Amino acid sequence: MKLPTLLLITTFLGLSTADPNAVLWGSAPAQKTYSDRVVQATQETWDWMNYALHLSGLASCVGFQGIQYPFTCDSYCADYPGMELIAEFGPKDIVDFSVSGFFAVDHHRKEIWHVFRGTVSLTDGISDVRLDSLPFDAWGPNHPNCTDCKAHAGFLQSYKLAYAQFEKNMTEAFQKYPDYSLKVTGHSMGGAASFIHGINMKTSGYDPYVVASGQPLVGNQALANYNDMLFFGDKPDFLRQDKDRRYWRLTHKGDLVPQIPFWSPFHQPGGEIFIDYALADPPLDALKVCDGQDNPNCNYSSNMINSAITGTVMWAHFQYFVVFTLCGVNFWSTHIHS
């Protein structure tokens, strides 16, 4: 196994002590949702994934060159002319393990964006490899707590530290722009934070659109089912592509991170959108909408052993609609039209 591949895999391994037989609160199904059904994504779904993923790619600037007000950076920030930076967030020192990202408002599209960065630093890696799990608390008053839900401690705590940084700015933006929709996105560790933030916002009475790409396994079966219930209802239809859909878990062919840790009690929620294409910037016919939680015809069709031995897992993980790389290093120059 190539060393970079080994490092990527071990970075995401977290051994949970949660009960694998935990039962979800309420009427949502307590067991995993199985299906092998797959349908073709619409052009509207492709456009939305492309837009969100390119914006997600800009988070790589946070903590390095940075994003400057109103919304400029060494990368392709100019592709978002209506965007106004509200705040960046992330670790303040070496013992701060908060996830990084930025908070911005798009005045052209009337959208409030929370964008979480993927794993690129030592503190990110330490958060990833925390070896315990914690009870998952729902913040909002509108839903009972999922008492049996447990989440990866590193992801949960790094998110909570970041949330404490941007909560004030977020609340002020919600009050200032009450007619703007809420959009949440992130890749890799940022995908895990997006998943948690989506639940936070949903149970706090907001109606977020969540796009989590390359998201590792964050919690147990109860937590996965809880997310499905919140975003898809008691009888989830993961194949829907209408205007009322609010959650998309984007995966890529050959990317093993959405399958890590490999063992129970960690489970993925439904809502998977699969890129069945080896490179970035996939054609429309390579984008699939997947039913169920671990669809064998989507990301779980990837050959783990082959990907690990050849080292393609790293390349597969860092290229989706955009290549996730250092700020200003752009392998693909697809422009976004706001």
Name 70's bridge partners.
none
For residue 222, give every residue at least 6 positions away whose Cβ sits within 8 Å of its Cβ, in sequence order, or none.
Answer: 22, 23, 24, 25, 30, 146, 148, 149, 150
Instruction: Tell me whether residue 98 is in a domain.
Output: yes
Please state, in angstroms and rounded to a whole number, the distance separating the CA atoms of residues 97 and 100.
9
- 40's enclosing H/E stretch is strand 38-40
Please state, in angstroms and rounded to a whole number, the distance separating the CA atoms of residues 140 and 55.
27
Please state, in angstroms and rounded to a whole number, the distance separating the CA atoms of residues 168 and 204.
15
Instruction: Tell me whether residue 333 is in a domain.
Output: no
Instruction: Tell me whether residue 231 is in a domain.
Output: yes
Residue 107 belongs to domain spanning = 3-318
Instruction: Tell me whether residue 203 is in a domain.
Output: yes
CATH number at residue 72: 3.40.50.1820
Q: Is 60 exceeded by the pLDDT of residue 14? A: no
Instruction: Tell me whether residue 86 is in a domain.
Output: yes
Instruction: Tell me whether residue 338 is in a domain.
Output: no
Instruction: Tell me whether residue 34 is in a domain.
Output: yes
Segment 31-67, tens digit of pLDDT:
778 899 999 999 999 999 999 999 999 998 997 789 9
Mean pLDDT value across residues 200-224: 95
Instruction: Tell me whether residue 274 is in a domain.
Output: yes
pTM exceeding the 0.75 threshold for the entire prediction: yes
For the four alpha carbons of 39, 42, 45 and 49, in that order, the dihedral sign comes to positive
Number of domains in the chain: 1
For the four alpha carbons of 133, 301, 99 and 163, in that order, the dihedral sign comes to negative
Count Cβ atoms within 10 A of the Cβ of residue 157 and give its class: 0-12 exposed, 13-18 middle, 19 or more buried.
middle
Which region among 56-70, 162-176, 311-325 has the lowest average model confidence (pLDDT)? 311-325
Segment 141-163, tens digit of pLDDT:
666 678 789 888 888 888 999 99
